[in-house]
Amino acid sequence: MTKHGSRICSRHNFSSCGERLLVCSRFTNTRRSRLVTSARLLKLNCTMTQAEKEQDNGKEKEKERDKEKEKEQQRGVKRPIAPPTIPDPLQEQIQSNFVIVIHPGSRTLRIGRATDTLPLTIPHVIARRHKQSGQPRHEDAWLLREGLNKPESNEQRQNGLKMVDQAIWSKKMSNGVRRTPVSAEQARAYNCQIRPAVLDSSFRVKWTNTAHHPPHLVGEEALYVNPSDCYNIHWPVVRGQLNVHAGPGGSLTAVLADLETIWSHVIQKQLDIPLKDLKYYRCILLVPDIYNRQHVKEVVNMLLLNMGFSAIIVHQESVCATFGSGLSSACVVDVGDQKTSLCCVEDGVSHRNSRLCLAYGGSDVTRTFFWLLQRAGFPYRDCQLSSRLDCQLLQHLKETFCHLNQDISGLQDHEFQTRFPEAPALLYQVRLGDEKLEAPMGLFYPTTFGIVGQKMTSLQYRSQGDSEDPHDEQYLLATQSKQDQSSKSAADRKAISRPGGGLDGEMSGQGGVGELSDLPRGCGSSGSGGGIKGELELGPVQGECLMGAGEMEEPLSAHLSRKTAIMSQFESKALGLDKAILYSIDCCASDETKRKMYSSILVVGGGLMFHGAQEFLLHRIINKMPPSFRRLVDNVEVITRPKDMDPQLISWKGGAVLACLDTTQEMWIHQREWQRFGVRMLRERAAFVW
């Protein structure tokens, strides 16, 4: 027995040797199990020690960073402050009846719940009472505009009418017979003899009652304010933009106040929604394709902070038009009252280079129709373009009489009524010929409108920067140019190190061409778009706008000045509607996209709602499209009434559809987010490039 075993036996006084052996074996087993347990604990301790070491190392690194920050603060070193990160959009169930869709137009406001079948449609006008007696009266013009009273206006108008008449007489009717020209003198001889008949005056139009001196009137009430009352008349939107001007009520603050008053009045009085409950509602705002960033920012600020909507989505009219019509891709042609916008939309994305805005619309057709009526001896001789009620009458006559059906020819007799406050109702007879066709054809020959010295075409420009959004497009362009310069210098060093180190092919991707991304694509494009260059009539300088690699070495100032000259020349030209459609489609990147656009040309808005407009526009596009695409495009289609809907309501309907989509969850800008991050939210959440 071992010495250690004897100590155990002596300690416990075992009586026999068997007991001693049993105790020794138990002791040995116990010791072995303790050794195994110790080994396991040692292994676990090693693992824990390694994790603790890593944790300690992390703590030491944090302590070192804190010490470095303290030293920098003591030395006065300022570290850059990281901007707060924008949180991910909240995912929550949205009820469509608590979403209000707003589509503000130049002449009409369309507003309603997303669940409504049709929106409310009211004149987008407000009358504000004078704050002081004797204050001069101001009224924004309806059909009149700048550039009409120039010395060249009448000559330009006559030249435009000659081109229109030539186009009318050169085209045969569907039976193969050419139209017989109708002289305006034939209609004038008859109309000058017409005297009106007095109708029953049981139903009379009345001026708006202002006896209780309301501070403002909205919509139809504003249109029927007596000119002798002390009210100013304001249209807050003109040609798709806020009506900022130098006259009374023309400041940005005043225009925003007019918008807030009009929209709040309609929401409260006609939608029956108390303004205090707007915190439970959301808003979808439709903006033009070519938008003013500052104006959009201010309107969003007004809707969220002043009116109190809980959240908002901002989207473009053209994309919403495709949603409302059920099309995935289309060249959207929006002919409004004062502007015509074009844009190619593919799978819910608006192609930026294809956006184009023309500064004419349905009101210019109305004014041209009035001039033609005067030439034909219009029997209502007191008609004035400066009168609101006369403008309404002319708008109604245009929508009733005008057409684009060339099978209708010869003189025809019509009648119309005039019902004005404080005047008897009168019935007039009028005989008209080609005037009904000449006026709407002004959309294809804009010189007929007689507008001189005005900007007639607008493109989408890059952002000029915003102090509230430092990491905007300008920031990205600046950082990208630095990266390009560094990569270019590295390439230059490699080229110099190589024997015969030429730089062929490297200049094509450098700054010169990139700087010209804002230029009209049709001004020098080759291939399929080459056939449009002559149709655009942009002058010979346009052929030089896309420079070759050898011409990139000119100074930057000369390059920018030449670019500005090209842009100003392009914007001063008034493209016809058919040429503008061809230009917009030609700006698409690929031939496959262009083929899609030709096969789906969607016409919305109320400016082209004439009988025969669909066939007329289709015929002109097929005749003027590039010959190379006539073989590629199977079917050119012009859609004017998708799903038999009113084309004036399609964009609003698309906004209502947008409210029901699950994908819009990521687009909502909430009030608290706007208060914290401001315009950055539009860049982060908007469905288009801000």
Tell me the residue type at 91. Answer: Q
Length of the chain as a residue count: 690
Which of 143-157, 504-518, 603-617, 629-643 has the lowest average pLDDT?
504-518
Give residue 326's pLDDT: 94
Q: Which residues pair with 282 in a beta bridge?
A: 99, 311
Which SS3 state, helix, strand or coil, does residue 139 take? strand
The tokens for 606 are: 């109320």
The tokens for 446 are: 């804009």
Distance CA 83, CA 684 (A): 14
Give residue 539's pLDDT: 35
Are 415 and 432 spatial neighbours (Cβ–Cβ below 8 Å)?
Answer: no
Q: Which residue in 353, 355, 325, 323 sits closest to 340, CA to CA?
A: 355
User: DSSP states of 472-487 as a string?
Assistant: SHHHHHHHHHHHHHHH
Report percent pLDDT > 90 for the chain: 60
DSSP state of 306: I
DSSP state of 136: P
Are 103 and 286 spatial neighbours (Cβ–Cβ below 8 Å)?
Answer: yes
Mind listing the pLDDT tens digit for each residue in 255-294? 999 999 999 999 999 999 999 999 999 999 999 999 999 9
Are 108 and 123 spatial neighbours (Cβ–Cβ below 8 Å)?
Answer: yes
Neighbours of 54 (CB within 10 A): 9
DSSP state of 563: H
Are 369 and 434 spatial neighbours (Cβ–Cβ below 8 Å)?
Answer: no
Q: Is the pLDDT of residue 187 over 60?
A: yes
The tokens for 102 are: 């707003």
Give residue 177's pLDDT: 84
Distance CA 274, CA 266 (A): 11
Are 337 and 367 spatial neighbours (Cβ–Cβ below 8 Å)?
Answer: no
Q: Which residue in 547, 613, 536 sits closest to 572, CA to CA?
A: 536
- Residue 281 buriedness (CB in 10 A; 0-12 / 13-18 / 19+): buried
Q: Is the pLDDT of residue 512 over 70?
A: no
- Kindly list the distances between the CA atom of residue 168 and the CA atoms of 162, 173, 374, 436, 442, in Å, as whole numbers in the listed order: 10, 10, 21, 12, 12
Q: Provide the strand spans (E) within 69-107.
A: 99-104
The tokens for 107 are: 């002449």
Q: Which residues pair with 349 in a beta bridge?
A: 346
Q: Provide the strand spans (E) within 288-436.
A: 311-316, 329-335, 340-346, 349-350, 356-358, 412-418, 426-432
566 or 143, which is more confident: 143
Which of 110-114, 234-238, 285-289, 455-459 has the lowest average pLDDT?
455-459
Mind listing the pLDDT tens digit for each residue in 658-678? 998 888 888 999 999 999 999
The tokens for 326 are: 């059920």
Task: Tell me the pairing of strands 99-104 and 108-113.
Answer: antiparallel
Give residue 494's pLDDT: 57
Q: Which residue in 604, 654, 645 sits closest to 285, CA to CA?
A: 654
Which SS3 state, helix, strand or coil, does residue 99 take? strand
Give residue 111's pLDDT: 98
H or E element in which residue 558 lies: helix 556-572
340-378 in b/e burial notation, b at 16+ Cβ within 10 A? bbbbbbbebebbbbbbbbbbbbbbbbbbbbbbbbeebbb
Mind listing the pLDDT tens digit for each residue in 462-504? 777 778 887 777 777 777 766 666 666 666 655 555 444 433 3
Q: Provide the strand spans (E) within 169-240.
A: 197-198, 216-218, 231-234, 237-238
Q: Please report which confidence band the pLDDT of residue 534 belongs to, taking 50, 70 and 90 as the band edges.
A: very low
User: DSSP states of 569-632 as a string?
Assistant: HHHHS---HHHHHHHHHHTSSSHHHHHHHHT-EEEESSTT--BTHHHHHHHHHHHHS-HHHHHH
Backbone angles phi, psi at 526, to 5 degrees: -105, -175
Are 578 and 613 spatial neighbours (Cβ–Cβ below 8 Å)?
Answer: no
Phi-psi category of residue 2: left, alpha or beta, with phi > 0 → left and psi -120 to 50 → alpha: beta
Give residue 227's pLDDT: 93
Mind listing the pLDDT tens digit for each residue in 370-422? 999 999 999 999 999 999 999 999 999 999 999 999 888 889 999 999 999 98
111 or 538, which is more confident: 111
The tokens for 520 are: 């009209």
- Kindly list the distances between the CA atom of residue 532 and the CA atoms of 100, 521, 582, 627, 629, in Å, as whole numbers in the listed order: 42, 10, 7, 10, 12
Give residue 28's pLDDT: 44
DSSP state of 401: H
Q: Is the pLDDT of residue 23 over 60?
A: no
**3-class SS string, 257-284:** HHHHHHHHHHHHHCCCCCHHHHHHCEEE
Give residue 69's pLDDT: 63
Give residue 158's pLDDT: 95
Q: In the Cβ-directed half-sphere of 320, how many Cα atoms lie within 13 Å? A: 32
Backbone angles phi, psi at 365, to 5 degrees: -65, -40
Mind listing the pLDDT tens digit for each residue in 351-363? 999 999 999 999 9
348 or 515, which is more confident: 348
Phi-psi category of residue 272: left, alpha or beta, with phi > 0 → left and psi -120 to 50 → alpha: left
Mind listing the pLDDT tens digit for each residue in 601-617? 999 999 999 999 999 99
Q: Which residues pair with 108 in a beta bridge?
A: 123
Which SS3 state, helix, strand or coil, does residue 222 take? helix
For the chain, the farthest-separated pair of C-alpha atoms sits apart, in whole angstroms, at: 153
The distance from CA 123 to its chain's CA centroid, rounded to whole angstroms, is: 21
Are 636 and 618 spatial neighbours (Cβ–Cβ below 8 Å)?
Answer: yes
Q: Is the pLDDT of residue 128 over 50?
A: yes
Tell me the residue type at 690. Answer: W
**Whole-structure pTM value:** 0.78
Which of 9-18, 158-167, 169-178 has the lowest average pLDDT?
9-18
**3-class SS string, 442-469:** HHCCHHHHCCCCCCCEECCCCCCCECCE
* Mean pLDDT across the chain: 81
Neighbours of 130 (CB within 10 A): 15
Q: What is the tally of helices (H) and strands (E) in the chain?
A: 22, 21
Give residue 12's pLDDT: 43
Give residue 610's pLDDT: 96
Are 168 and 441 spatial neighbours (Cβ–Cβ below 8 Å)?
Answer: yes
Q: In the Cβ-directed half-sphere of 512, how many Cα atoms lie within 13 Å? A: 18
Give residue 59's pLDDT: 65
Q: Please report which confidence band the pLDDT of residue 172 belongs to, taking 50, 70 and 90 as the band edges.
A: confident
Instruction: Say which residue the tokens 């004038």 belong to.
Output: 188
Q: Is the pLDDT of residue 505 over 60?
A: no
Give residue 464's pLDDT: 73
Mind listing the pLDDT tens digit for each residue in 33-67? 444 444 444 344 444 445 455 556 666 666 776 76
Q: Please report which confidence band the pLDDT of residue 507 belongs to, taking 50, 70 and 90 as the band edges.
A: very low
Give residue 533's pLDDT: 36
Are 113 and 96 spatial neighbours (Cβ–Cβ below 8 Å)?
Answer: yes
Q: Please report which confidence band the pLDDT of residue 325 belongs to, taking 50, 70 and 90 as the band edges.
A: very high
Neighbours of 412 (CB within 10 A): 14
